[in-house]
Chain A
C-alpha cells in the first residue's frame, strides 16, 4: 500500500485509518502434516487495539495456528496477512521486524543471560550496529546535550579526563554503537519495571522464580516493539492472585497501543480480559464473537465447556 502512495502517478488511495482496522488477517489457512489436518480452512482477523482470545480444547490447533502466524510453520494453503502484507513465507526474524512478537507456552528464555540481557536481545532487534560497528565504532552520531559524558568530579586528573571525554564527544560525536547500547539498556530496564521484575534485572534467567520467568518472556517480546503481541498460555501454572495480576498487565499492554492475542485454557481469565474470542476445535473454527456470545454458543459449550475433562 505504501508503495502505491509513494508513486505520484498512481491515483491516490484514501489511507484514512478506518476505526477498527484489521491488523492481522488469517485467510483460509490449512496446514497438513502428512495425512493429519492440523488446521482446516481457518479464517479470522485481529483488529487493531483489541485483546483477542483464542481458545479451544487440547489439540484444537491453537499453538499450531500461532506457529503459522509467527512463521515457524508454513501453511499448506491460505495466507496470513499483517497490515496488508503477506506473512507466510517470511523468516521468523523478518516477521518479528514487521511487528509480531510472541511468548512460548513452555518458557524459552536464554537461560545463561541475565534478565536484562534477555530483554536487550529483543530491544536490539530494531538496532543497526553489527560487527564492524561494534568493533571499529566509526559511525558517529552527533549526541544530544543530555547524552554527552558528564563532568562530575570536582577537580584533579579525573575532572580533566572527564572534560577531555566530553570535548571529544562534542567534536567527533558518539558512536552509534554506544548510543544504541544505552538505548537498549534503558528500554530494557523500563520494560522490566513495566512487568514488575526490575529487582532481579541482573540475575540470570535460569535463577528467576517461575512467575518472573513468565513475565520476563513478556518483557522480552515487548522489547521488539511489536504491534501485535501473541501470548501463549501466559497464565499456565499461576495461582488466582498471580492470574489477576497478569490480567492487569495484559490490559496495560493494550493501553500502550499493542494489540494482544491471547491463547488460554482458563475460560474465566479469557472472559475477563478479552474483547473478542475465537474458538477452535479439531483444527476448525467453530465460533467467533464477543465473550458473552461465545459462552452461550451451544457448539462451544459442547466442544469445550461441556467437556471439562478435555478442557483441563
Chain B
C-alpha cells in the first residue's frame, strides 16, 4: 500500500519537476505574459462562469458557502502561509504560535477602529470626542502591522536564542496566552462577548456602504488578493537579497553562517518580525471583513492548521505553501461531506507528508535535495538517533 503511494508520488513528482524545468526554460517575456494571464484569472475567479469549471464554485452545491467569501478566506490563508513560510521555510524556525500574531492584527483593528471597543470609548471620554469617533481603517491597518511586528520582536528577542524544538513549544504557549489574555481582559477586549462594528475601508459596517459591504464579498476578495500579490513581491525581493541568503545560510548551518559574518540572531529576529507582521495583516483583513471577532476564533488549533499549510504545501516555496493554503481552506468548503473530518485529514496529511515526502507536495528544488542527501547519509552510516 505504502509502496504504491510512494510510486504514484514519484511519478507525480517527476511530472511536476519537468513542468518546473520547462517553465524556467521559457523566455522571459513568455513567463511574464503567463504570469499576467494568471493574475488576471485570479482576479476573475469570484465571477467564475466558464462552462466546465463552475463545479469548482462552492455555491454549486446546495447550501454551499458564498463563493467569493471562500475565496476571501483562501486569500487570507495564503497571506498567512506566505508569512509563515518566511519563518519556517526560509529561516528554518518552527513557529507554532502564529495564530497569536493573527489575533493581534485582528484585535488591533477591533480595539482602535470599532466604536464598541473599550479602548475607543476611553479615548472618547478622555479627549471629549463624539461617540461616533474611532480610528480610521487605513490607520488601523498601519497599527495592526506595527503591533504585530513589535509583538514578533518582543516574543523573538528572548526566545530566538533557544534551540529549535524549544522555540516551537514556547511559541505554542504564546499563541495560547494571546487567546487567554483576549478572553480574560474584559475591560480591554470585552472578553468572550467579542467586539462588533469593526470598520472596513468605507468605515464602520452599515447598509449604506457601496463597495465593502457584508453581502457582496467580491471587493473584499479583490482587496485581499491585491495585498497578497504585494506581499509576494516584497518577500521575493527579500528572498533574492543578502537577507534571503543569510536566512538560508542560518537554516542550513547556523554556526558556519556566524563564522562567515552573518549575525544569526539579527536575521532570525527579522524573519520572525516579518512573519509576525504578515500574520497580523492577515488577521486585520479577516477582522475587517467579518466586522466581529471574539477570542474563540483564535483557537490554537488554527496555528497547527497554518503550520500544516506550509509543510504540506512544501516549505521554502511560495507556490507550494500557497497551494497548501488554498487546499486546506477550499476543500472543506467545496466538499461538505468531508468538512467534519478536516482536522483529522490535516493531521493525517501532516504525518503522511512528513514520513513519505518531508519536502512537501511542491517542494522548493533546493529543499528537496537536502532531504534526499540526508537519507543517503543515513544509509551509509547507520543512524543512532
Chain A residues at the B interface, C-beta cutoff of 8 Å: 70, 72, 91-93, 96-97, 101-102, 104, 108-113, 117, 120-122, 124-127, 129-131, 134-135, 177, 180-181, 184, 204, 206-207, 220-221, 223-224
Determine if A121 and B260 form an interchain contact, defined as CB atoms under 8 angstroms apart.
yes
Determine if A206 and B241 form an interchain contact, defined as CB atoms under 8 angstroms apart.
no
Q: Can you give 13 contacting A-B residue pairs, CB < 8 Å?
A: A93-B262, A112-B252, A113-B245, A113-B249, A113-B366, A117-B245, A121-B257, A129-B241, A129-B243, A130-B242, A134-B242, A135-B238, A180-B242
What A residues does B381 contact at CB under 8 A? none
B248 within 8 A of A: yes
The smallest beta-carbon distance between A137 and chain B, in angstroms, is 8
Known contacts A124-B261, A134-B238; A112 and B274 CB within 8 A of each other: no
Q: Per-position contact with A for B233-245: 1 when CB-CB < 8 Å, else 0?
A: 0100110011111
Closest 6 CB pairs of A and B: A125-B261, A134-B241, A112-B366, A92-B258, A96-B261, A110-B252
Interface size on B, residues (CB 8 A): 31
What A residues does B261 contact at CB under 8 A? 93, 96-97, 122, 124-126, 224
What B residues does A127 contact at CB under 8 A? 242
Determine if B262 and A124 form an interchain contact, defined as CB atoms under 8 angstroms apart.
yes
Determine if A134 and B243 form an interchain contact, defined as CB atoms under 8 angstroms apart.
yes
Determine if A130 and B260 form an interchain contact, defined as CB atoms under 8 angstroms apart.
no
Most buried by A among B246, B258, B259: B259
> In the complex, what distance in Å separates the CA atom of A120 from the CA atom of B243?
11
Determine if A121 and B241 form an interchain contact, defined as CB atoms under 8 angstroms apart.
no
Determine if B256 and A110 form an interchain contact, defined as CB atoms under 8 angstroms apart.
yes
Which residues from 212 to 260 on chain B have a C-beta closer than 8 Å to any C-beta of chain A? Answer: 234, 237-238, 241-246, 248-249, 252-253, 255-260
B373 within 8 A of A: yes
Determine if B249 and A121 form an interchain contact, defined as CB atoms under 8 angstroms apart.
yes
Determine if B243 and A131 form an interchain contact, defined as CB atoms under 8 angstroms apart.
yes
Can you name 4 extra interface pairs (CB under 8 A) apart from A108-B255, A112-B370, A130-B243? Answer: A72-B255, A104-B256, A110-B256, A111-B370
What A residues does B252 contact at CB under 8 A? 109-113
Determine if B369 and A112 form an interchain contact, defined as CB atoms under 8 angstroms apart.
yes
What B residues does A223 contact at CB under 8 A? 260
> In the complex, what distance in Å separates the CA atom of A101 from the CA atom of B262?
12
